[in-house]
């Protein structure tokens, strides 16, 4: 029995001695300074042994009789010292490694875009180097989770410098390649507009996926609670366009990350990517300065990236895209507001009877009050001529707006439809309000002004109104206003030429409204049969001359000759309708009197 007990005790002591012993092959790596790539496998094995040894010295995993032994306590203290030394040295090495490798890339000018060479960033080498130490970082997290904080900070600071330099050089070369530099008063051609839109799109195409991939790589490399590395993918990937060369999955908020972990990740990503947005803003401002209409396509491109990246992008990337979208919208709204302000200037200049020179740069500055100013620097106008100049000015405004609207439609992509529709609503609303106000500067010619401009609006936007619902709404509004103006103007001409006839009829209608019977009306003062015959003779004698005078009056102040045929047709129809009402009234009040019939009037008008 004693022999058996002695044997068991010896075996137990051998196990304890084995546990207390630190293998020399591991001790060298745990206390040494060598963390080269070639020795990384041995470092990882030594680190795994240290983790296992520390776990073996936990009170819960060892016989309580050994816990109080001095040798046990001393060995456990020795392991803690080794752990502290190892963690400190590895952390210092990795901090220096990140900074040194990034400095090496920063000093290599060929790594970045330069004059005449637009270079797409390639981080495959950097990620491959970092992946060498990915397993070691996982072991460090187990040994001392607090040591990862300074490492994350060091990695983010180093890579942030690299990313910002890449974005800045890329953006500078994009602007240089575009070769667009319009000055004041210069129009922007379609090639320039396309170039600046393509430049912004290329910025997003290159750097948004890169930022998302760097965010995802960082989350896994720095041991956040994200999906594990795909062990089936390893080695260097020579394809520069394959950003997922390390088997890094995308970040998804549905992953099992605690709120605290997610907050820490977003804070680190802020350090990693902050400052990059400034070069995106600079490209947006540059593009808008060259052609404000580029904001439409840039807004659509940004919205597409934003909606496509929400599931897997880092929070910083999503926020940056949102801020870009807001900035683009703000710049476009400012452009629209400035253009609307220029429309209002037209009203103020007209009220002063002075129309200053206004450059023809609608597409560049949307200075919409043009036409007369292209010929004269300053035109002092007699009051009776003011309206006709205003008509000319605003016809040019409408024509340029149609050109602008056609161009805006070409830029639309994705959700930028809403942005353009809002611009249409601002433009057309202020145009209609200004039209009505300008019409009142010369009430005598107000309806002519409205007729010609509302007609021009419909003619200019007919094709677009068929495909753009917002413009269709304003088209119908202009059509209604046109019909109302036509009706007022034509009625004025008819009543002017046949004033006595229709005044006589109006007096009879007023009496009927006051409940005077038809039989009593011929006995009223000024409405006797004798008065009726005198009025009829003076109004209808020389009917053809009166109708000809009516035509000349309609033609006299009209500057748009193409409107005359349709207006004359409306005038004839309205005159026939009014005359027919007069004939019916005469038959009711003066049944015995003879007047030319409506059919005779139609026949006379048809001959003219």
Q: Which pLDDT score is estimated for 362?
A: 39
**Would you say the pTM of this structure is higher than 0.85?**
no
What SS3 string covers 502-570? Answer: HHHHHHHHHHHHCCCCCCCHHHCCCCCHHHHHHHHHHHHCCHHHHHHHHHHHHHHCCCCHHHHHHHHHH
Residue range 340-350, pLDDT digits in tens: 888 777 666 55
Q: Which pLDDT score is estimated for 438?
A: 82
- 135: which 2 tokens? 């397993």
Listed residue (346, 564, 550, 372) closest to 455, CA to CA: 564
Residue range 145-179, pLDDT digits in tens: 888 888 889 999 999 999 999 999 999 988 888 76
Indicate the pLDDT class of residue 246, thresholds 50, 70 and 90: very low
pLDDT exceeds 60 at position 143: yes
Q: Are residues 189 and 291 in contact, defined by beta-carbon separation less than 8 angstroms?
A: no
Which sign does the torsion angle of CA 515, 521, 525, 527 carry?
Answer: positive
* Whole-number Cα distances in Å, 166 to 121, 125, 268, 280, 287: 7, 15, 20, 12, 20
Q: Are residues 402 and 428 in contact, defined by beta-carbon separation less than 8 angstroms?
A: no
Mean pLDDT of 435-439: 85
Output the CA torsion 119→123→124→127 (10° steps): 170
Residue range 445-454, pLDDT digits in tens: 889 889 988 9
CB atoms within 10 A of CB 416: 25
Q: Which pLDDT score is estimated for 413?
A: 64
Region at 560 (left for phi over 0; alpha for psi -120 to 50; beta for the rest): beta
Please state, rounded to an integer, the average pLDDT across all residues of the chain: 77
d(CA 157, CA 273) in angstroms, rounded, equals 9
More confident residue, 368 or 157: 157
- 117: which 2 tokens? 């060479």
Mean pLDDT of 457-476: 91
Query: Taking each helix axis from N to C terminus, what angle separates 529-540 and 543-556, rounded to the nearest 10 degrees?
Result: 60
Residue range 566-600, pLDDT digits in tens: 999 999 999 999 999 999 998 988 888 888 889 98
* Whole-number Cα distances in Å, 178 to 169, 187, 192, 308: 14, 16, 8, 28
Which sign does the torsion angle of CA 339, 345, 346, 347 carry?
Answer: positive
pLDDT more than 70, % of the chain: 73
C-alpha 156: how far from chain center: 31
C-alpha 452: how far from chain center: 35
Indicate the pLDDT class of residue 256, thresholds 50, 70 and 90: low
pLDDT exceeds 60 at position 356: no
Q: Which pLDDT score is estimated for 385?
A: 46
Q: Give residue limits of the domains in the chain.
A: 2-88, 108-291, 333-466, 498-607
HSE of 504, CA atoms in CB hemisphere, 13 A: 26
DSSP secondary structure code for residue 380 in this structure: E
Q: Which pLDDT score is estimated for 65?
A: 58
d(CA 430, CA 238) in angstroms, rounded, equals 58
Q: Are residues 438 and 504 in contact, defined by beta-carbon separation less than 8 angstroms?
A: no
DSSP secondary structure code for residue 311 in this structure: T
Which sign does the torsion angle of CA 199, 203, 209, 212 carry?
Answer: negative
Listed residue (284, 397, 285, 292) closest to 335, CA to CA: 292
Q: Which pLDDT score is estimated for 35?
A: 65
pLDDT exceeds 80 at position 187: no
């Amino acid at each position: 029995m004693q022999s058996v007990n002695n044997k068991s005790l010896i075996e137990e002591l051998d196990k304890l001695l084995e546990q207390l012993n630190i293998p020399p092959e591991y001790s060298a790596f745990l206390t040494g300074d060598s963390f080269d790539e070639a020795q990384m496998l041995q470092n990882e094995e030594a680190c795994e042994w240290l983790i296992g040894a520390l776990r073996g010295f936990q009170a819960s995993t060892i016989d309580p009789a050994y816990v109080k032994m001095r040798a046990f306590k001393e060995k456990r203290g020795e392991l803690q010292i080794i752990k502290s030394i190892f963690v400190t040295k590895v952390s210092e090495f990795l901090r220096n490694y990140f900074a040194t490798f990034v400095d090496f890339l920063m000093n290599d000018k060929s790594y970045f875009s330069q004059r005449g060479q637009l270079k797409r960033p390639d981080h495959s080498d950097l990620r491959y180097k970092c992946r060498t130490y990915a397993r070691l970082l996982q072991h460090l997290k187990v040994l001392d989770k607090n040591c990862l904080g300074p490492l994350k900070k060091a990695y983010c600071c180093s890579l942030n410098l690299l990313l910002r330099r890449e974005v800045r050089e890329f953006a500078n070369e994009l602007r240089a390649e575009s070769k667009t530099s319009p000055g004041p008063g210069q129009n922007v051609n379609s090639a320039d507009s396309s170039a600046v839109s393509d430049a912004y799109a290329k910025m997003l195409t290159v750097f948004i996926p890169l930022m998302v991939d760097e965010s995802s790589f960082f989350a896994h490399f720095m041991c956040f609670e994200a999906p594990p590395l795909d062990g089936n993918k390893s080695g260097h990937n020579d394809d520069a366009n394959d950003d997922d060369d390390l088997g890094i999955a995308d970040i998804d908020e549905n992953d099992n990350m605690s709120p605290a972990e997610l907050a820490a990740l977003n804070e680190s990503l802020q350090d990693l990517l902050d400052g990059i947005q400034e070069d995106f803003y600079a490209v947006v401002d540059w593009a808008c300065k060259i052609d404000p209409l580029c904001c439409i396509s840039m807004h659509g491109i940004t919205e597409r990236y934003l909606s496509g990246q929400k599931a897997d992008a880092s929070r910083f990337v999503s926020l940056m895209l949102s801020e870009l979208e807001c900035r683009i919208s703000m710049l476009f709204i400012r452009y629209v507001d400035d253009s609307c302000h220029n429309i209002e200037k037209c009203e103020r200049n007209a009220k002063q009877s002075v129309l200053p020179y206004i450059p023809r740069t609608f597409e560049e500055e949307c200075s919409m009050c043009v036409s007369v100013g292209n010929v004269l620097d300053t035109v002092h106008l007699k009051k009776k001529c003011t309206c006709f100049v205003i008509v000319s000015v605003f016809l040019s405004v409408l024509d340029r707006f149609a050109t602008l609207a056609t161009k805006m439609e070409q830029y639309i992509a994705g959700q930028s439809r809403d942005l353009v529709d809002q611009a249409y609503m601002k433009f057309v609303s202020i145009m209609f309000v200004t039209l009505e106000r300008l019409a009142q500067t010369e009430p005598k010619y107000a309806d002519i002004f409205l007729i010609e401009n509302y007609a021009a609006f419909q003619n200019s936007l007919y094709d677009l109104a068929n495909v753009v619902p917002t413009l269709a709404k304003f088209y119908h509004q202009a059509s209604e206003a046109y019909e109302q103006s036509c009706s007022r103007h034509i009625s004025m001409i008819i009543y002017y030429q046949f004033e006595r006839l229709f005044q006589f009829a109006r007096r009879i209608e007023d009496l009927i409204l006051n409940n005077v019977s038809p039989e009593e009306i011929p006995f009223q003062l000024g409405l006797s049969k004798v008065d009726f015959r005198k009025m009829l003779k003076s109004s209808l004698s020389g009917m053809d001359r009166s109708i000809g005078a009516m035509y000349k009056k309609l033609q006299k102040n009209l500057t748009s000759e193409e409107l005359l045929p349709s207006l004359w047709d409306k005038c004839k129809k309205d005159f026939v309708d009014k005359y027919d009402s007069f004939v019916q009234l005469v038959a009711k009040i003066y049944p015995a009197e003879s007047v030319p019939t409506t059919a005779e009037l139609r026949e006379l008008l048809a001959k003219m």
